[in-house]
Chain A
Amino acid sequence: MAFIRFAERPTFRNPWAEFERIRQGLDELSRSYTEKGKAQSRANVYPALNIYEETDRLLITAELPGVKTSDLELSIEGDTLTIQGKRDRRPTEAGASYHRREIESGSFSRAIALPIKVDTEHVGARLTNGILTITLMKASAVTPRQIKVTAE
């Protein structure tokens, strides 16, 4: 009878070890996909928007180069914010020949459903250097209220 010393025994093979390894690999793969997906959620309607949520407000930004304040119209109705406007085509100079024409002109209109309730009375909008920033204050019902703790 052959004796196998305890330490020399083949290590117990976990039948699930291989599955575990595959699962980890898949987790990693899906993580890298979701991160990429989060970075750029493609917009279909002009303008592309970024929305940030701060404790008491909602910030919406958009890149609107060449759009004048007078050509921009914002309206808010309930939970829907509408951004409308136009970008005029530059008047072409007489005798000018174009080498490149990548800048487009035209009108745009986008309506978005706001993710949270906002106070429609306090809406601020600013257009500086072609960047539109809309500040929407959250409705008081959804603004977190600080609760003071007092010692007795």
Chain B
Amino acid sequence: MTEQELKIQEKKTAQPVDESTKSETYFAPHVDIFETDREVTVIADMPGVTVEGIDLALEENILTLQGHRAPQQHAGRIVLEEYENGHYLRRFTVAETIDQEKIEASLADGVLTVRLPKAAPAQPRKIEVKLG
């Protein structure tokens, strides 16, 4: 088989900046980040998160991806528990200047895609000198 087999990737917990009063678990989602000359794209695995649960922010070059999950209710007895449910949180410092207005995000199959278009480089302005 030429195709690679998927392995279980360990979930790493993430620490919110502020200590929360509720003891909720945050995991750092696995991400792909790539850059073209026009934009930076961040892809993050956030299974179980709905569009309402996504919280994105870009402040002072820090991109914060947050995904909140609705609390799950299972009345039954746990027979097997191999993974833990939790919220998602990850932060990145973005080196490029991003056009804040044009940031786009989409969510499909539990995968979040954020497109951060680079701001057009400032046009050098010619200063004309008039003869006085």
Q: What 0/1 pattern do residues 5 to 22 of A give for CB contact below 8 A with B? A: 000000000000000000
Question: Nearest chain B CB to A107's CB is how many angstroms away?
Answer: 5
Partner of A52 from B30, B36, B41, B79 at Cβ < 8 Å: B79
Question: Count of chain A residues with Cβ under 8 Å from any Cβ of B?
Answer: 52
Residues of A within 8 A of B36 (CB): 93-97
Task: Tell me whether A65 and B111 are in contact (CB under 8 A).
Answer: yes
**Interface contact tally, CB-CB below 8 A:** 147
Select the residue from B41, B80, B84, B107 with max chain A CB neighbours within 10 A: B80
Q: Across the interface, do A103 and B80 meet the contact criterion of CB distance under 8 Å?
A: no
Question: Does A140 count as interface, using CB distance less than 8 angstroms?
Answer: no
Q: Please state if A130 and B111 are interface contacts (CB–CB under 8 Å).
A: yes
Which bucket holds chain B's interface residue count?
35 or more
How far, in whole Å, are A2 and B42 apart by their CA atoms in the complex?
A: 89
- Please report the C-alpha to C-alpha distance between residue A46 and residue B8 in the assembled complex, in whole angstroms: 5
Bound Cα distance from A38 to B77, whole angstroms = 13
What is the interface of chain A mostly: helix, strand, loop, or mixed? loop
- Cα distance A129–B74 when bound, in Å? 18
| Contact residues, B67-92 vs A (CB, 8 A) | 74-84
Stretch of B14-22, B46-54, B57-65, B119-127 that contacts chain A:
B46-54
Quick check: B33 and A98 within 8 Å, CB to CB?
A: yes
A49 contacts the other chain (CB 8 A):
yes
Query: Is A42 a contact partner of B82 (Cβ separation < 8 A)?
Result: yes
Bound CA–CA A19/B80 (angstroms): 36
Task: Answer whether residue A63 sits at the interface, using C-beta atoms and an 8 A cutoff.
Answer: yes
Question: Which residues of A in the span 40-89 have a Cβ within 8 Å of any Cβ on B?
Answer: 40-55, 58-59, 62-68, 86-87
B5 on the interface (CB 8 Å rule)? yes
Chain B residues in 8 Å Cβ range of A43? 8, 82-83
Closest to B84 in A: A40
A contact residues around B1 at 8 Å (CB): 107
Closest to A109 in B: B5
Provide a sorted-by-A list of 17 A–B residue pairs whose CB atoms are within 8 angstroms: A39-B84, A41-B82, A46-B5, A49-B82, A51-B79, A51-B80, A59-B74, A65-B45, A93-B41, A97-B34, A98-B33, A100-B31, A103-B30, A106-B3, A108-B5, A130-B46, A131-B110
